[in-house]
A and B are shown apart, each in its own frame.
Chain A
Amino acid sequence: MHFKPKQFLRNIPLHLMILPALVLVIIFSYIPMAGLIIAFQDFSPIAGFKQMNWSGLENFHYLFDIPGFKQVVWNTVFISVMKIIAGLTVPVIAALLLNEVRVGGFKRTIQTVIYMPHFFSWVILAGIIVDVLSPSSGLVNMVLKAFGMQPIQFLAENSWFPYVLVITDQWKEFGFGTIIYLAALTSIDTSLYEAAVIDGAGRWKQTWHITLPGIRPIMILMLTLSLGNVLNGGFDQVFNLYNPLVYESGDILDTMIYRIGMQDAQYSVSTALGLIKSVVSFVFIGLGYYLAYRFAKYRIF
Chain B
Amino acid sequence: MHHMTTAYRWFQRLNYVFLTVLALLCLFPIVNILAISFSSSEAVEAGRVTLWPVEFTLSSYRYMLDNNLFLGSFATSGLRVVLGVTVNLIFTVLVAYPLSKEAVTFRSRTVYAWIFVFTMLFSGGLIPGYLVVKEAGLLDSIWALVLPGAVPIFNVLLMLNFFRGLPKELEEAAWMDGAGHLRTLWSVYLPVSLPSIATVTLFSLVGHWNAWFDGMIYMRSPEHYPLATYLQSMLQRANVSNDMVTLEQAQLLSQISDRTTQASQIFLSIVPILAIYPFLQRYFVHGLVVGSVKG
A interface residues, Cβ below 8 angstroms from B:
1, 7, 11, 13-15, 17-18, 20-22, 24-25, 27-36, 38, 94, 97-98, 100-102, 106, 109-117, 119-121, 123-132, 134-137, 139, 142, 153, 155-156, 171, 175-176, 179-180, 183-184, 187, 197, 202-203, 218, 221, 235-236, 240, 243-245, 257-258, 261-262, 267, 270-271, 274-275, 277-278, 281-282, 285-286, 296-301
Contact = CB atoms under 8 A, between A and B. Distances in A.
Contacts of A134: 254
B277 A257 contact: no
A39 B268 CA distance: 42
Contact of A123 (B148, B232, B247): B232
A171 B29 CA distance: 11
Interface string B126-156: 1111111100100000000001111100000
Contacts of B285: 179
Given A17-B94, A27-B132, A106 B26 contact: no
Contact of A257 (B125, B150, B281): B125
B235 A240 contact: yes
Interface stretch (B57-65, B189-197, B209-217): B209-217
B266 A100 contact: no
B270 interface: yes
Interface string B22-53: 11011101101100100000001111001000
Contacts of A131: 29, 32-33, 36, 259, 263
Given A20-B94, A101-B19, A300 B117 contact: yes
A236 B214 CA distance: 12
CB-based closest 6 A-B pairs? A32-B124, A274-B125, A35-B128, A121-B210, A137-B47, A32-B128
Interface stretch (B66-74, B78-86, B238-246): B238-246
B129 A175 contact: no
Contacts of B23: 109-110, 113-114
Interface in B191-223: 206, 210-213, 217
B112 A18 contact: yes
Nearest to A133: B240
A123 B212 contact: yes
B89 interface: no
A38 B127 contact: yes
B122 A244 contact: no
Contacts of A187: 293
A25 B122 contact: no
A224 to B, nearest CB: 12
A278 B123 CA distance: 6
B94 A18 contact: yes
A111 B288 CA distance: 15
B228 A121 contact: yes
A112 B280 CA distance: 10
Interface string B261-295: 01100100110010001001100110011001101
Contacts of A282: 121-122
A183 B241 CA distance: 43
Interface size class of B (residues with CB under 8 A): 35 or more
Given A13-B182, A139-B50, A282-B121, A25 B101 contact: no
Interface string B105-117: 1111000110111
B277 A119 contact: yes
Given A29-B124, A282-B121, A114 B212 contact: no
Interface string B246-265: 01001100110001001100
B240 A21 contact: no
Given A110-B23, A130-B240, A267 B212 contact: no
Given A36-B125, A110-B23, 5 more contacts: A17-B185, A36-B128, A98-B19, A156-B247, A171-B25
Nearest to A268: B127
Contacts of A98: 19
Contacts of A112: 281
A270 B127 contact: yes
Contacts of B185: 17
Given A101-B16, A203-B8, A277 B91 contact: no
A155 B288 CA distance: 33
A27 B128 CA distance: 11
A14 B231 contact: no
Contact of B273 (A119, A125, A171, A296): A119
B27 A124 contact: no
B32 A267 contact: no
Given A127-B231, A128-B32, A179-B285, A277 B125 contact: yes
Contact of B240 (A102, A156, A184): A156
Contacts of A18: 94-95, 98-99, 112
Contact of B150 (A21, A285, A298): A21
Contact of B244 (A11, A125, A202, A243): A243
